[in-house]
Amino acid sequence: MNALDVEPWTVERFFAWQEDQEERFELVDGVPLMLAGASQRHDMIAVNVIARLSQGLHGKTGRTFTGHHAVRTGPGRIRRPTVGVDCGRPDPNDYLASAPAVIFEVLSRSTRSDDQLRKLEEYQAIPSLRHLVFVDTLDAVATHWHRPAEGEWKRVAIQGPLGAIELDAIAVTLLMEDVYEGVTFD
């Protein structure tokens, strides 16, 4: 059988199949792609972001989610951002964020180009998304894309431990020193 003869998967087929898999996958153009593991530095940053977002959202309507949850970025496309905030209606049986407002991608050496180019474009097409943050693992640097309720995407580079990531759509500010807490660079 030729690979070109394979019918692209639907989102429903993907999630039915994913239930029986131990690894995490994304659906890209109807094809499941396995996600790689993460370095300790990547994981430390992700845990720091999850902890700070969860604290900041306490008593609010948004819910933090991890890379085990997914966002639909287009037809036949399911992505699993490192961390996100869903401000939509909760459904404990769903695998998709219903209204993702914030997405964090912690960059890995192997995925940084794809994350900042292809995924950037896909994520920015999500109508509910207001903040997209790429957090570097090689240095204390974050790139924050934000879109006002009425307006175009704007890019802000945040460098060093004294900076802050202002997530006005969910009324949470993350300090860079908290994002990189316990993280050392070679």
Which CATH number is 125's domain given? 3.90.1570.10
Does residue 109 lie within any of the structural domains? yes
Structure token digits, residue 94: 């769903």
Residue 43's identity, in one-letter code, is D
Does residue 11 lie within any of the structural domains? no
Section 66-83 average pLDDT:
92
In tens, the pLDDT along 102-117 reads: 999 999 876 776 677 7
Alpha carbon distance 69, 81 (integer Å):
8
Identify the residue whose tokens are 């900041």: 56
Residues facing residue 31 across a β-bridge: 28
Whole-prediction pTM value?
0.87
When divided into structural domains, the chain yields a total of: 1
Does residue 12 lie within any of the structural domains? no
Q: Which domain holds residue 170?
A: 37-72+79-179
DSSP state of 107: -
Alpha carbon distance 174, 69 (integer Å):
22
In tens, the pLDDT along 6-20 reads: 788 888 888 888 888
Identify the residue whose tokens are 């499941």: 32
